């Protein structure tokens, strides 16, 4: 498995049989600047969305139309994407598991919001926020937490799914901050590797992963904080 951070909460995940984008926010993403959209979307088979905010839905519609990738989202968000011309849609909701060929995606809980004010000035309610728990054939399991605060039922997510890799929002203001995110990882999960995200994009959120890295000191979990465009191999 190869995991590439594309800035903010956006990731490219490559396995032997799938090429996945999660929350592909590229346009207006300062952390993505300098990266090549064609390169990071090449061969994409799936686009997975944690929730409906613009900095997570991002360029989904354009990429889906260009690549023909299957888009997974909660039912409300999927219906809205369908109205925008996305044709290959898989929908679910909190607690549900969706088979996607060589892997499955389970919608886990997240504490956040999910509406979006679009260019027409209308606020669209786009379902509940979620994390996404991915189980692959012969690959590490991965939890993208989405945007969330800490909550004690994270322990149930760990008990049910035993994720090997955790993608963790740490930027504060709109998600938990680094110190709280580290507490969540140490108290409720047994990740082999934790990858911080949702920082450094906008001036009003934390610019570095320092608080998270410091909070994880002494943990058995390895913290990997790649630069945008950097790929980690597992």
* Residue 189, pLDDT score: 98
Distance CA 49, CA 174 (A): 17
Do residues 27 and 58 touch, judged by C-beta distance below 8 A? yes
Distance CA 123, CA 116 (A): 6
Mean pLDDT value across the chain? 97
Phi, psi of 76 (to 5 degrees): -70, -45
**Is residue 119 predicted with pLDDT exceeding 80?**
no
The tally of CA atoms less than 13 A away on the side-chain side of residue 192 is 8
Q: Which of 64-78, 85-99, 120-134 has the lowest mean pLDDT?
A: 120-134
Strand pairing report for 165-169 and 193-197? parallel
What global pTM score does this model have?
A: 0.97
Return the percentage of the chain with pLDDT > 70, whole number.
Answer: 100
Q: What average pLDDT does range 9-30 have in this prediction?
A: 97
Distance CA 56, CA 63 (A): 13
- Going from the N-terminus, what domains does the chain have, and what CATH number goes with each? 2-228 (3.60.15.10)
Helix axes 75-83, 60-67, angle to 10 degrees: 70
* Residue 101, pLDDT score: 96
**Is residue 117 predicted with pLDDT exceeding 90?**
no
Do residues 146 and 169 touch, judged by C-beta distance below 8 A? yes
* Residue 122, pLDDT score: 84
DSSP3 helix / strand / coil % (the chain, rounded to 5): 25, 30, 50
* Per-residue model confidence as pLDDT tens digits over 151-172: 999 999 999 999 999 999 999 9
Distances 90 to 6, 75, 162, 212 between C-alpha atoms, Å: 23, 8, 24, 34
Distance CA 205, CA 200 (A): 7
């Amino acid at each position: 498995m190869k995991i590439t951070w594309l800035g903010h909460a956006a990731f490219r995940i490559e396995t032997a049989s799938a090429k996945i984008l999660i929350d592909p926010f590229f346009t207006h993403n300062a952390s993505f600047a300098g990266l090549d959209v064609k390169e990071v979307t090449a061969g994409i088979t799936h686009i997975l969305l944690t929730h409906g905010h613009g900095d997570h839905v991002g360029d989904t519609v354009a990429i889906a139309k260009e690549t023909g990738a299957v888009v997974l989202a909660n039912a409300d968000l999927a219906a809205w994407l369908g109205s925008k011309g996305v044709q290959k849609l898989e929908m679910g909701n909190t607690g549900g598991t969706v088979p996607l060929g060589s892997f499955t995606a389970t919608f886990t809980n997240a504490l956040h919001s999910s509406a979006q004010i679009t260019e027409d000035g209308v606020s669209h309610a786009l379902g509940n926020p979620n994390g996404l728990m991915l189980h692959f054939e012969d690959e590490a399991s991965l939890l993208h937490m989405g945007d969330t605060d800490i909550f004690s039922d994270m322990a149930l997510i760990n008990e049910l799914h035993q994720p090997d890799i955790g993608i963790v929002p740490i930027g504060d203001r709109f998600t938990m901050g680094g110190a709280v995110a580290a507490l969540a990882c140490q108290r409720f999960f047994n990740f082999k590797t934790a990858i911080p995200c949702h920082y450094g994009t906008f001036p009003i959120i934390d610019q570095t992963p320092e608080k998270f890295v410091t909070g994880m000191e002494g943990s058995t979990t390895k913290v990997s904080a790649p630069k945008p465009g950097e790929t980690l191999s597992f």
